[in-house]
Amino acid sequence: MKQTIAYILLLLLLLLAPATLLAAEAPGAEGMVIKADRMDHDATDDLLTATGKVEMTWQGMTVTSDRATYNRQNKVLVATGNVIMIKAGDTMWGDRLVMDTETGRSEMENGHIFMSSGNVRAAGKQIARLGDDQYALHQGELTTCDAEVPSWKFGSSDLDVTVEDFATGKNVVFYVKDIPVFYFPYLILPVKRERQSGLLFPSFGSSTKGGLFLDIPFYWAISPSQEATFNLDIQTKRGVGVGVDYRYLRSRSSEGSAGGYIIYDNNERKVRGQLTQSHKELLADNLSLITSVNITSDRTFLQDYGEKSGEYNQQYTDSRIVLTKFWEHWLASAQGIYTQDFYTNNTTSTLQRAPELSLYGVREKVPYLPLFLDLDLVATNYYREKGMQGQRAILTPQLTGNQSLFNGRLNAQVSAGAQIRGYNVSEAQPGTKDQAAIIVPELHAELSSSFSQTFDGSLLGFSRLRHELVPSISYQYVVDQNQTSYPLFDENDRLSHQNAVYFSLASHLGGKITSEAGATEYRDLQTIRLRQGYSFSGERPNLLELVDDNRRWSNLALESETMLLRNVRLLADATFNHYEKRITSTALGGEVSDGRGNNASATYRMSSHQVEYLESRVELALLKPVYLSYSNRYSFDKKDFLEQVASVEYRHQCWGIIVSYRERPNERVWTININLGGLFTIGTSPSGGGVAGKPQLETGS
C-alpha cells in the first residue's frame, strides 16, 4: 500500500513540475531536430529554449550556438553566442541569428560567410540571408584570401551577393591589406563556382607606340557552350580600341570562334582593325566544312597591334572556306582562298584562288600487277584585278613497286610518274603561252637495308639497348624540259631538272626500361642521319644549292636528335659544303626541364650567312612563389635583338601579379597584370593563384 502511494505522489510531482528537460532532444519545425545540454518548454507561448551545446538540423542545414529559442507558433528561431550555420558546403557564423524557418530568410549580426567552392569570404555588420544563394551585407567586405588581415578585399556600405551570379555594391573601396587604394561608386563582381561572367582585372602599362595604356576586359559566360571576352583598350597616343573574342561549341562535331579589334588610330587618322573567324563542322561521317577569316584593315596593322592577336610579323594572311569529302580510297575537296600580301603595296596584283578543286587517290594496288597507284589532281582558278589570271590543272599519276630481296635483307622501291599541267590564262606577259599543256616525267628508285644489334646492360637505367643502322641509296630523275614559256603562278609551275644519286646512313638507338612494378617502357635515345648526293646533270636539288660541272656533289647534311635523359633533348641539323670548306646552314638546339616549372631552351639558326639568329628561353620556379621568365631572339646579321621579353610573376593563395617587359625594334612595352583569385579570373579559382586559362566549353545550343 505504501509503495502504491509513493508511485502516485511521484506521478503528481512530474505532472506539476515545469516542462524542463536535461540533456534532451526535442522536435522543432517540421523535420527539425534540436539537441542541447538543457531544454525548456513554455507551454503558454509554445516556446522551446535550448542552452549549452545547442545543435539544430533540418532540410540539409545545421545550426549550432550557445543558446537558442524557437517559437513554434510563428516559426522564428533566435540563436545567440558562437552561432554557426552550415548548408551545402557554405558556412555563415556570427554573434546572433534570427531566422524564419518557413521561408529560410535570416539575419546575422557581426556575421561572416565562407563559400568553399571559389574560396569566397564575406563579412558584414549585418548579413541577411534572402535565399539559398542570396545575401545582403550592410557595411560588408568581400575577398578570397584566407588570412585574418587579407591581402586584398572590397569594402562596401551595401553589398548584395548572389552565388552563381554577381556581387553588386555601392560606395565600394578596394583595399590592399587595410590600405584603401581605389574607390568605385558602384561595382559589379562575379561570384560563381563555375565559369564566371564579369569584369576581369585590368592590365595596364606603357608603350613607345601607344603611350600609357589600360586594357579592361569583360568575360561573359553566355551558356555552357558559349563564351565571349570583350576588351576596352585605352591608349594615350593611339586612341580607344575595342576587341572581342567569341567561342562556341554547338556539338562534338561543330565548334568555332569569331573575334576582332577596331580602333580609330590618332596617329594614322583612320579606322584600323582586324577580323578573325574559324569554324569546323562535320556535316556527315565523311563530309566536313572548315571556314576561316583573317582580314586586316591595312598592311602595317599587325606591326602596330599584333600583340592583340599574337601575330605581328607575317608576310601574308589567308581566309578560306574548304569542303572535304572522304571515301575509302579517295578524298575530294573544294576551297576558295583570299590572300592579303603585306609585302606588296598594291593589293590589286595579289593572286587569289577560287575555286580550287582537288582529288587525291590513296595508294591502291593495281589488279594483277605488283604495283601501287597514286593519283592527285588539282584544278585552280586564279584571279586578280591586274595581271595574269586564268585556270591551271595539275595531274600527278605515279606507279610504285616494292620488292624485298635476299630474304628481307635488302628492300627495293621504284616509282615512276609525271606532272601533267594544263593552262588557260588571260593577260599573260609577252612570251607566255595563253593555252598550253606540258608533261614532266619523273623517276625515283631506292635500295635500303637494316642492321641491328641488342645489348644487355644497365646504362642510364635501361635494361636493354638496341642499335640499328639503315644505309640507303636512291636515284632521282626529272626530265629536262624548257618551261620558261609557260605561265608562272607559283612554285608548282617550275620543276627543276634532276639527275642525281643520294647516299644516306641513319643510326637509331633505343632502349627498354623495366620499373620495379614490372611495367615496361621503350624510349628512343638518339637518331642520327647523314645524307649527300651526286648530280650527273641538273639545275639545283634545292633552293640553297646550284649544280654545275665543278660542283657535282651536294652539301653533306646531318640531322640528329638526342634524348639520353628523359628531360633533356638536343637537336643538331647542319649542311656542309666541302668545296668551300664551310657550314652553309645549321640549326642547333636544346631543351631541359625538371618537371617542377624550371625550363630552359636555346636554338641557333644560320643559313648561308644570310640569316643568323639565336632564340632562347628560361623559366625559373626556384624562388616560389616568385616565378621568373626571359626569352629573346637575337639577329647576328643585324647585330640586334629582334625581340626580348622578361617577366616576374608572384603567385599568392588569393592573388597574383605579373610584371612584364617586351622590347622589339622601335618599340618597348611595360605591362602589369593583376589576378584576384576567384573573382577576376576566367573559370574556377586556379590553384597556385596564377591566372586561369580558358575554361572548357560543354556541347549544347
Contact 603, 633 (CB under 8 A): no
Assess if residue 337 is contained within a domain: no
pLDDT of amino acid 320: 96
Q: CB burial class (10 A; 0-12, 13-18, 19+) of residue 261?
A: buried
pLDDT tens digit sequence for 154-206: 899 898 888 767 788 888 898 888 888 888 888 777 766 555 666 677 888 99
Q: Which domain holds residue 118?
A: 18-191
Question: Is residue 11 over pLDDT 50?
Answer: no
DSSP assignments along 428-466, one per residue: PPTT--SEEEEEEEEEEEEEEE-EEEEEE--GGG-SEEE
Assess if residue 93 is contained within a domain: yes
CA-to-CA separations, 295 to 146, 274, 319, 339, 381, in angstroms, rounded: 47, 6, 7, 9, 21
Question: Is residue 544 over pLDDT 80?
Answer: no
For the chain, the maximum distance between any two Cα atoms, rounded to a whole number of angstroms, is 141
Assess if residue 111 is contained within a domain: yes
Question: Is residue 13 over pLDDT 50?
Answer: no
Assess if residue 518 is contained within a domain: no
Assess if residue 668 is contained within a domain: no
Q: CB burial class (10 A; 0-12, 13-18, 19+) of residue 38?
A: middle
Contact 523, 547 (CB under 8 A): no
Amino acid at site 597: G
Amino acid at site 27: P
Contact 211, 221 (CB under 8 A): no
Q: Which residue has the higher pLDDT, 556 or 8?
A: 556
User: What is the torsional sign of CA 167, 171, 174, 179?
Assistant: negative
pLDDT of amino acid 132: 72
pLDDT of amino acid 514: 74
**Cα–Cα–Cα angle for 142, 148, 153, rounded to 5 degrees:** 25
- Tell me how far apart the alpha carbons of residues 701 and 281 are, in angstroms, rounded to a whole number: 15
pLDDT tens digit sequence for 71-90: 888 888 999 999 999 887 78
Assess if residue 229 is contained within a domain: no
pLDDT tens digit sequence for 288-342: 999 999 999 988 888 888 766 556 667 888 999 999 999 988 999 999 999 998 8
pLDDT over 70 percentage in the chain:
86
| Sequence-ordered alpha helix ranges (H) in 209-271 | none
Omega before 190 within 30 of 0, i.e. cis: no
pLDDT tens digit sequence for 98-128: 988 888 788 999 999 888 766 788 899 999 8
- List the grid coordinates of 644: 626580348
**Cα–Cα–Cα angle for 575, 577, 581, rounded to 5 degrees:** 125
pLDDT tens digit sequence for 351-369: 999 999 999 998 888 998 8
* Strands 626-635 and 611-623, sheet pairing: antiparallel
Q: How many domains are there within the chain?
A: 1
Q: Euclidean distance between the first and final Cα of the chain, in Å?
A: 85
Question: Is residue 696 over pLDDT 50?
Answer: yes
Omega before 355 within 30 of 0, i.e. cis: yes
Cα dihedral 73→75→76→81 (10° resolution): 110
Assess if residue 476 is contained within a domain: no
DSSP assignments along 35-85, one per residue: E-SEEEEETTTTEEEEEEEEEEEETTEEEEEEEEEEETTTTEEEEEEEEEE
pLDDT of amino acid 692: 36
Band of the pLDDT at 648, cuts 50, 70, 90?
Answer: very high
Assess if residue 465 is contained within a domain: no
pLDDT of amino acid 542: 64
Band of the pLDDT at 22, cuts 50, 70, 90?
Answer: very low
CATH of the domain at 71: 2.60.450.10
pLDDT tens digit sequence for 481-518: 899 999 999 989 998 899 999 999 999 998 888 766 66
pLDDT of amino acid 134: 82
pLDDT tens digit sequence for 587-642: 999 999 988 889 999 999 998 767 889 999 999 998 888 999 999 999 988 888 98
Contact 641, 635 (CB under 8 A): yes
- List the grid coordinates of 146: 584566407
- List the grid coordinates of 362: 590513296
CB atoms under 10 Å from CB of 245, counted, come to 20
Question: Is residue 379 over pLDDT 50?
Answer: yes
Band of the pLDDT at 556, cuts 50, 70, 90?
Answer: very high
- Tell me how far apart the alpha carbons of residues 125 and 112 are, in angstroms, rounded to a whole number: 9
